[in-house]
Amino acid sequence: MFKKILIANRGEIAVRIVRACAEMGIRSVAVFTEADRFALHVKRADEAHFVGDDPLAGYLDPRRLVNLAVESGCDAIHPGYGFLSENAEFARICAERGVTFIGPAADVIHRMGDKTQARQSMIAAGVPVTPGSEGNLTSLDEGLALADEIGYPVMLKATSGGGGRGIRRCDSADELRQQYPRVVSEATKAFGSAEVFLEKCIIDPRHIEVQVLADAHGNVVHLFERDCSIQRRNQKLIEIAPSPQLTPEQRDYVGELAVRAAKAVGYENAGTVEFLVVGHEVWFMEMNTRVQVEHTITEQITGVDIVREQIRIAAGLKLAYRQEDIHFRGYAMQFRINAEDPKNNFLPSFGRITRYYAPGGPGVRTDTAIYTGYTIPPYYDSMCLKLIVWALTWEEVLDRGTRALNDMRLQGVTTTSPYYLEILNCPEFRSGRFDTSFVPNHPELLHYSVKRHPSEVALAVSAALAAHAGY
């Protein structure tokens, strides 16, 4: 087993990995830029190393991070999610320097990160994919011809894209002509590659993803599915495990497809295979070669510690579980509490947290890196925390989610939590029958009023009285 792991990330996922290392008796090493000098992951790790004044550069320099790992005596690096987590060059440099990358091999990251190569691999493995280009588009004219063949609407996507970026829906030839140069430009700026491909747009699908674990000994298992259909502009907001919308037969089918996909590319470590589902039809969308933000809800329903398994697999150990050992119980739901104002087009709301109280009680978990007095910097993702709830039934998890959101106190910044309360109260959502069109089809849910808790009113009155008295 590893003795020391460098965590090439920040925020709540860095704290999550620190906790896993502590439980396994492994020393953890954090990295931080000036903007993160007072961040929680820096306080919680066994060691912390400064990587520069620039808020981003230090987290995005693979060679510097690997050199730091070697200099500080680390035998492994965990990339978390985001930043360099799906960077094949990072994994390659780790291998060159004799530092274990806690993730798949560089060639697998490259193959699955290139969306056209991923599609080709899935076709060869017999995993269904949406109709589209066999490779990258060579020109706009090629895209127009293909769109005429498969029919509009179509999706124009960056080949190296991810995180909801570099994607445009085109409902006509005119829209395709307009969007093509925009996607090429966005892909070049965001991912360093101008390559794009085209595929049939599946109208109002359910977004279903399957968590897989694979070791170096040929063992591959799935940990069932998550429903990520509640999203805005391809950015997930609420995730659910298992999906309340799948039949047992569909669940078995997508699980088997995910295992087949992982085996087809020689996958190792934790990964997620994402599908679009309409009725009984299932299409492969992409594979994420890292731990997911929403891994928490899979942990809640299965009891499997996914980060711990990542570390064990990277150390060369066999999976601790066989497929027949893995079962799920109840439902789990994750709310991404973002520092954004839903009523103002989800405008980011960075600033100082004046008060933070984490909800608790049965079946409630919070993964976060914030605390009272912490200032959320404007350079990173706006997610403050992940609120996770678990219960035995669908109705109970809805009620628990409502209670936990109402329990939470996060003041100083505007967050998405009041909006999530509106979603939980929506009859369509409560029925368990929804798809990716839910958020755009329910703009009325944004017309909420923020109710102040009595404790907040009391604090405000006390502060006003103190100010008036000159205290």
pLDDT at 136 over 70: yes
Residue 470 pLDDT exceeds 90: no
Residue range 440-463: mean pLDDT, rounded: 74
User: Residue 258 pLDDT > 70, yes or no?
Assistant: yes
According to the model, what pLDDT value does residue 466 have? 54
Residue 414, CA distances (Å) to 143, 145, 332, 348 in order: 42, 46, 25, 8
How many whole angstroms separate alpha carbon 94 and alpha carbon 112? 19
Specify the pLDDT at position 417.
Answer: 98
Q: What is the mean pLDDT of residues 223-247?
A: 97
Give backbone dihedrals phi and psi of 433, rounded to 5 degrees, phi first: -120, 95
Output the CA angle 215-129-151, nearest 5 degrees: 160
What's the pLDDT at 135?
Answer: 86
Q: Which of 77-91, 94-108, 439-453 has the lowest mean pLDDT?
A: 439-453
Question: What is the tens place of the pLDDT at every residue in 316-374?
Answer: 999 999 999 999 999 999 999 999 999 999 999 999 999 999 999 999 999 999 999 99
CA distances from 377 to 36, 215, 336 (A): 8, 37, 17
Catalytic residue (choose from 290, 336, 365, 400): 290
User: Residue 224: what pLDDT?
Assistant: 98
Which band of pLDDT confidence, cut at 50, 70 and 90, is reported for residue 453?
Answer: low
Quote the pLDDT of residue 454. 59
Which pLDDT tens digit goes with each residue over 172-186? 999 999 999 999 998
Domains of the chain: 4-102 (3.40.50.20), 131-200 (3.30.1490.20), 206-446 (3.30.470.20)
155 pLDDT above the threshold of 80: yes
Q: What percent of the chain has pLDDT over 90?
A: 89
111's CB contacts (< 8 A; 6+ apart) are 117, 118, 121, 265
Note if 10 is an active site residue. Answer: no
pLDDT value at 307 more than 80: yes
Share of the chain above pLDDT 70, in %: 95
pLDDT digits (tens, 9 = 90+) for 15-64: 999 999 999 999 999 999 999 999 999 999 999 999 999 999 999 999 99
